[in-house]
Structure 1
Amino acid sequence: MSAQLANWDDLRVFLAVARAGSLAGAARRLGVNHSTVFRRIAGLEETLDVRLFERLPTGYALTAAGEETLGIVERIEADVTTLDRTVTGQDLRLSGTVRITAIDMLAFGPLADHLGRFRDMYPGIELEIVVGNETLNLSRRETDIALRIGNTPPETLVGRRVGQLQFAIYGAADYCAAHPGADLTQHDWIGFDSAHAPLTRQLDKLLPGMRPAVRSNSVACAVRLAKAGIGLAVLPCAVADLEPGLTRVAELPEAFGLDLWLLTHEDLRHTARIRAVLDFLTPALAESL
């Protein structure tokens, strides 16, 4: 292996491919195109004079040299991100970029409603909203703030419980008219995949053995499916109550609710721009629940 030092950006691409197992997955994680990832990996292998990945029909698999490199690069990553968090945590300016990640049910509903007012208050802070069901890693600075649901947040993160997101059963008016008085178990259902694990666990308790007619990884898609009359769906009230064409069919027990959290890494909690976002969003989102 060559003793030349590799560019850190190339090592970041290497980590993304190793973790995703494919160029396409790494490209999505990094926000670049497929060809950029390919060039970076090829360049890194040329610099190090070693083959890091086996190109397989199913994706990219680490070679023995790649496995060894992964351990080294992950240690470098830990040092770089610790330095980054430490320095950023001492930043007292109300300016710069704050990256927020949220699943679609929150980003398309409660979160979006308040960002205009935040921008009026803090014009020097640029917000970057990452919408998706993939859990971005706060420790590796893939995001600064995570808006998450679930009644037990990770112990490694700090943050604030905003309140409880309430759910109810919804359906289109035409669908409900065509199935008057039907028992819940007799309806067609719109369900969710493992991307919404806290919600699917609650659904399994409510309707054990229920097999959805359609599943989606997106609450926004589930809303559209329900409005199209595909079946009933359990949806967050803060989103579904605002949708014309949806009728609240039944209430759910209070225990069905899921806590809403604003989370960040401990090293970033005192960064002025991140604290400003947390201080603003906590009461603003609580009003929407």
Structure 2
Amino acid sequence: MNERDENWDDLRHLLSVARHGSLSAAARAMGVNHSTVLRRMTALEKSMGVRLFDKLPGGYVLTAAGDELHRVALKMEEDLAAAARLLSGRDTQIRGSLRVTTIDILTLYVLPRHLAAFRRLHPALRVDVMTAEASLSLTRREADVAIRATAKPPENLIGRAVSGLAFAVYGSVAYLDGAERAGKPSDDPDRHDWVGLDDSFNYTMMAQWVERNVPPDRIGLRVNSVTAVVEAVRAGYGLGLLPCGIADPSPDFRRLGPVVSDGDSRIWLLTHADLRHMGRVRAFMDFMADAFVKDRDLLEGRCGG
């Protein structure tokens, strides 16, 4: 590695510490150990002759000098990522690897069979799926394709909406059979235990619907993922508002009441404009668009009830 590479590598470590606020978190994000990040930051501060971070109780915070260098490093990162996207966009071969970011319910319940079918068509391409509620950056090439449920996709990305989403109230068959024997009507939320989402999901339609329709003291369990809601309801904890596309195909669940549509939110396939002509990106997005369109009746709640 030459000196220029080493200098950029030091700046990559600075960016990671600035983003994550600690040496240990930066090390995990970069796949290195804590001592490597500390050594890189110490060397960078020595070469620059300034202190770049203040270590505060809440984590590492950029000094004034560090902030100036951070802006330079961000510009370098953006320029390198733009160059990589432009070069990658010329690659028409459907081989190598493709990084896809999506949410947990799609990773677990919707995508596996589609990914298996895509693999049979393109065995030379490896797909790396990263499950994250927060969007990874396609601009910085943290991912090549995003599959997101959103009402308003980022303006710097291009793509298409492939399906709407529908939700309904469900309980497990075992739970509802027991409730009926105990004289608890299924249409009375006051008589049932519920599974809800925690405060980190307050912006979602799911959490807002539960807040409007379920007495707070009936929510006996709150979790921080939609998948956890699905599995808690399946286990018989109580009722929950679930995606129809997940619950309707399963014999474990029974739908109660009408579909609750999330009219604004749709499933989007997204990529960066510079990558839209890359062979593996185009092949994946075209295949998944067809797959989601075929699933639309299921995802929009027309296959159960």
What TM-score range do you get, normalising by the shorter chain? 0.7 to 0.9
> Using a 3 Å threshold, how does the CA distance of structure 1 residues 88 and 4 change in structure 2: closer, same or farther?
closer
Query: In 2, Cα distance between the equivalents of 1:194 and 1:148?
Result: 20
- State the Cα deviation string for residues 234-278 of structure 1 (Å, max 9, x = none): 121222234453322233233557310010001100111110110
Alignment partner, residue 195 of structure 2: 190
User: If the length of structure 2 is used for normalisation, what is the TM-score?
Assistant: 0.83
Aligned ranges 1:224-235 → 2 under 5 Å: 224-235=231-242
Q: Is there any run of 5+ residues in structure 2 with no aligned partner, and where?
A: 300-305
Unaligned runs of 5+ in 1: none
Paired residue total? 286
- Report the Cα distance in structure 2 between the residues aligned to 1:66 and 1:145, rounded to whole angstroms: 32
2:283 maps to which of 273, 276, 281? 276
Counterpart of 1:117? 117
Amino acid at match of 1:113: R
Which residue pairs with 2:149 in the alignment?
149
**Displacement, 1:39?**
4.1
Using the TM superposition, give the Cα deviation of residue 28 of structure 1 relative to its aligned residue in structure 2, in angstroms.
Answer: 4.5
Give 1:267's aligned residue.
274
The answer on whether the counterparts of 2:161 and 2:268 sit within 8 Å (CA) in structure 1 is yes
Kept in 2: contact 1:134–1:195 (CA 8 A): no
Judged with a 3 Å threshold, the aligned counterparts in structure 2 of structure 1 residues 194 and 277 are, in CA distance, closer, same or farther, namely farther
Percent identity of equivalent pairs: 42
Whole-angstrom CA distance in 1 between matches of 2:135 and 2:194:
26
Task: Verify the 8 A CA contact 1:133 1:217 in the aligned structure 2.
Answer: no
For 1:273, the aligned partner's letter is R
Q: Deviations over 1:1-36 (max 9, x none)?
A: xx9885323322321221221234334443455454
1:67-121 Cα distance to aligned partner (Å, 9 max, x none): 1111111111111111111111111222221100011011111111211111111
Residue in structure 2 matched with residue 201 of structure 1 by the alignment? 205
SS of the residue 1:166 aligns to: strand
Distance 1:6 1:67, change over 3 A: farther
**Residue number in structure 2 paired with 1:102:** 102
SS in 2 for 1:254: strand
Which moved further from structure 2: 226-235 or 61-70? Answer: 226-235
Structure 1 stretches of 4+ with a deviation exceeding 6 A read none
Deviates most, 82-91 or 4-13: 4-13
Tell which structure's C-alpha radius of gyration is larger.
Answer: 2
CA distance in 2, matches of 1:113, 1:4: 45
**Gap change, CA 1:173 and 1:8, over 3 Å in 2:** same
Alignment match, 2:66: 66
- Tell me which of 222, 236, 240 is aligned to 2:229: 222
**Structure-2 residue corresponding to 1:89:** 89
Q: Check the 8 A contact 1:133/1:195 in 2, yes or no.
A: no
Q: Deviations over 1:102-145 (max 9, x none)?
A: 11011111111211111111122111110121220111111100
